[in-house]
Structure 1
Amino acid sequence: MKFPRGNAVLLLTLCIVELWAVTLATLSKSDKGKKKKKDVNTVLSVHDRNLVNQELRKKHVIEECDKFSPLEQNVKNFKGPVLGYVTPWNNHGYDVAKMFGAKFSHISPVWLQAKRKAGGAYVIEGGHDIDKGWMKDVRKSGSVNIVPRILFDGWNSADYLALFKDEDSMEDFNSVLVGFIKEKNFQGAVIEIWSQLGGNLKEQLIHFLTHLADDLHDAKKSLILVIPPGIRADGSDGMFVAEDFKSLVDAVDYFSLMTYDYSSGGQPGPNSPIEWVEKCVEAISPTNNPNHRGKILLGLNFYGTHYTIPPTRVDPILGRDLVDTLKKQQAKITWDPVSEEHIFDYKTAIGRHLIYYPTPYSIHRRLELANRLGTGVSIWEIGQGMDFFYDLF
């Protein structure tokens, strides 16, 4: 078929325009797809975003704290064991355990309490809080050991004396606990009992813990013992010293060392001065024996402390609360080179406010310390922190 010359030119022009439009549309769709795919992986690590340094700004915390690198999500950067505590009152910890499961060797949900009934029988309570679906999801993300914390809740001196009085009594307790751990498919237990006794009855307590460790190990389960710092803020010996560590180190799998709450006397101060943390490890394990130091889980706090002056009022503060505060207040952020912690400082009508809260750089420095000392780390607790922390682990 033939067309007049003018019509042929017009038709050719329309064809070219249509072809160009189709090509452009195709390229645009492809480009958008590529850009979208790239965006998924372009959140840089906390190091690459230059957030691991002393010069932290308010906007860095507000805008970056919830961002983590997907490329780092399943990479374990810290070479030692990492224990993360999860509490029901900070639900984000359950999400963190699933999102960053590859970062943790152990997750300890705070669910359970050991009780001694009036007739002398022992029971483990709190089983209604156990979330089997969550446990399954956590285990999908890595080879994580789930080891619930067991708190000796409401015990008095008579209860402890009854437990320690003879082998039969200890065996009764151990049978109940080990049976519960096996039935619920946990890999062991975190025992919090030392501080409750205030440093008393050490001989009996060490005998009980050694016996419990043997029974757990026979069931192929592990024992982690929560211990207070070996040095108090005033420099005096704490409730758990080198002799206690030596007596238990061959029996206990790990020691969760509570190297935080340093400034607990009410006066403003750091949560966990780095020099004190180092001394606490060296106090219970003076020589760098890998078989000993490797069992210590150096404690990291993911909560902070908020001081209001005057008069001095002390309140705990979580990551989400700090972000809300920074959005409202003109806070100055300074680095304390002695404690190696950041301080958030601002004023309101009621007085001056000082907040000590962990940051990527303060955590980085403590992970460096743990590497140098040859310890692992334990985190109280992961629901209190910020998501950009986990790029470091």
Structure 2
Amino acid sequence: MAKKRDRRVAPSSTGKGRVESSTQQDQPGHSASSDRRLILIFVVFFIVSPAISVLVYRIKYASPTKRTESYVFQRGLVKADVDYQEILAENSKVSENTSRQHYTYPILAYITPWNSRGYELAKRFNSKFTHISPVWYDLKSQGTGLILEGKHNADIGWILELRKSGNAWLLPRVVLEAFPAEFLTRKKQRNKAINLIVTECKEMGYDGIVLESWSRWAAYGILHDPSMRNLALQFIEQLGHALHSVSSARNDKQQLQLVYVIGPPHSEKLQKHDFGPEDLQSLSDAVDGFSLMTYDFSGPQNPGPSAPLKWIRSTLQLLLGTAGNSARSPAHKIFLGINFYGNDFVLAGGLGGGAITGRDYLSLLEKHKPVLQWEKNSAEHLFFYSDGNDIKHAVFYPSLLSISVRLEEARSWGCGISIWEIGQGLDYFFDLL
């Protein structure tokens, strides 16, 4: 993060340049004026600048002191040399004060119907989150029209309980599965989609939606066409403004929100189909947040860490550029993706394996009693084991340290975070938030 520290001190060096240029304009004989300027320079560089530096230091580093008070830090559990017995013994123990926040930026928590544990955790740790997104809806083509599927997933009782337990905004996810070539080129279909979404929010009392469409549009290959790409951006903008024109059922002073899901670039250089910094800027007025999927870096065909720290940094660098954490940066609208799931990859006897939940992970620890390793480059924990057929596996699963490191990375950029998904994690992860 040295480069970002350099960016933070840039204003001071610019200020120094302005002071130096003003002294060069002094004329001979104006000794009193020169003396005053020398005194001013002394004050600026030896009194004001150190004072500002102390203030910046306190702003940046005062909060870590507060964070170390979280229950997992108190118990000394956030560390590299963790062992399996400690995880088995401690993972279910959390602070009695489940409403206390240790992370002050926005936190979006995803919940999936196929992992019902997330529903209970959303109620239990509601105060930790600013946004909760149950994965409920799909917007699909039906003949020449559209249909919004998934209302049967919406649990009214759970919504009412959620409202009572905290103030997190409820934004169900909608996946746009309509055929993009037809959808984007037909104004009536775009208007119909917006009407379906806005109407559902009104009827169900939602605070907005999380929309996922970019990855599907990229898969169909339409984003390589400049005109289609422009239509795609126009639709997102139109939807955002339509939602903003409606007040939330809970608070008539709050507009309905739009969070848009974006994937990380597929290479170090942005491709035509990638969502880039220009897209981020163009949609910043219409979109309230961007859920960045910085996970799934590895897969069964290329086993490895889920979200290497260097990859996360390079992704943020590509999206935010040199603006970084400046006032004009859209970083505050980024929800940096953090995975609460892991992967169990097959390393020998044929590639394979896949995602595991916290329950799966604990079972593997109990059965194989492995030695956990901290991999510095990726900032992730992993372990190896051999199954009953003597086939070697590598298991990558989040740890308190790996999550803590990513929270600090997001904080350094001024980003929020999004968690996929809370039902797949371990209970004591929430003490970090």
TM-score range, shorter-chain basis?
0.7 to 0.9
> 1:274 is aligned with what amino acid?
L
**Match among 288, 295, 311 for residue 253 of structure 1:** 288
Corresponding residue of 2:125: 100
| 302-311 vs 380-389, which moves further | 302-311
Query: Is 2:216 the counterpart of 1:196?
Result: yes
Q: Indicate if the aligned counterparts of 2:129 and 2:168 stay in contact, CA closer than 8 A.
A: yes
TM score, norm. by length of structure 2: 0.76
Query: Identity of counterpart residues, as a percentage?
Result: 36
Q: What is the rounded CA distance, in whole Å, between the counterparts of 2:326 and 2:180 in structure 1?
A: 33
Deviation at 1:235, TM superposition (A): 2.8
Corresponding residue of 1:317: 356
Corresponding residue of 1:305: 343
**Match among 130, 152, 172 for residue 154 of structure 2:** 130
Q: What is the SS of the residue equivalent to 2:398? A: coil
Corresponding residue of 2:91: 65
Coordinate RMSD, CA, aligned: 1.5
Corresponding residue of 1:338: 377
| 106-115 vs 259-268, which moves further | 259-268
Q: Do the aligned partners of residues 289 and 252 (structure 1) sit closer, same or farther apart at CA in structure 2, a change above 3 Å counting?
A: farther
Query: Is 2:399 the counterpart of 1:359?
Result: yes
**Match among 98, 108, 118 for residue 83 of structure 1:** 108
Query: Quick check: which has more Rg, 1 or 2?
Result: 1
Q: Deviations over 1:267-311 (max 9, x none)?
A: 221100011111111211111245510000000011111112212
Pairing 1:1-393 to 2, within 5 Å after superposition: 45-71=71-97, 73-118=98-143, 120-153=144-177, 155=178, 159-198=179-218, 200=223, 201-219=228-246, 220-230=255-265, 232=266, 234-237=267-270, 239-264=274-299, 266-286=301-321, 287=323, 288-290=325-327, 292-310=330-348, 311-348=350-387, 349-393=389-433
Q: What is the SS of the residue equivalent to 1:78? A: coil
More helix per residue: 2
Q: Deviations over 1:89-112 (max 9, x none)?
A: 111100110000000000000111
| 279-288 vs 371-380, which moves further | 279-288
Q: What is the rounded CA distance, in whole Å, between the counterparts of 2:145 and 2:87 in structure 1?
A: 50
Q: What is the rounded CA distance, in whole Å, between the counterparts of 1:277 and 1:93 in structure 2?
A: 25
Q: What is the rounded CA distance, in whole Å, between the counterparts of 1:116 and 1:65 in structure 2?
A: 44
Q: What is the rounded CA distance, in whole Å, between the counterparts of 1:161 and 1:337 in structure 2?
A: 44
Q: What is the rounded CA distance, in whole Å, between the counterparts of 1:169 and 1:330 in structure 2?
A: 55
Q: Indicate if the aligned counterparts of 1:295 and 1:375 stay in contact, CA closer than 8 A.
A: yes
Deviation at 1:249, TM superposition (A): 1.7
Corresponding residue of 1:30: none
Unmatched 5+ residue regions in structure 2? 1-69, 247-254
Q: What is the SS of the residue equivalent to 1:361? A: helix
Corresponding residue of 1:28: none
Q: What is the rounded CA distance, in whole Å, between the counterparts of 1:265 and 1:347 in structure 2?
A: 17
Q: What is the SS of the residue equivalent to 2:72? A: coil
Q: Indicate if the aligned counterparts of 2:299 and 2:354 stay in contact, CA closer than 8 A.
A: no
Q: What is the rounded CA distance, in whole Å, between the counterparts of 2:313 and 2:166 in structure 1?
A: 30
Q: Indicate if the aligned counterparts of 2:300 and 2:352 stay in contact, CA closer than 8 A.
A: no
Corresponding residue of 2:6: none
TM score, norm. by length of structure 1: 0.84
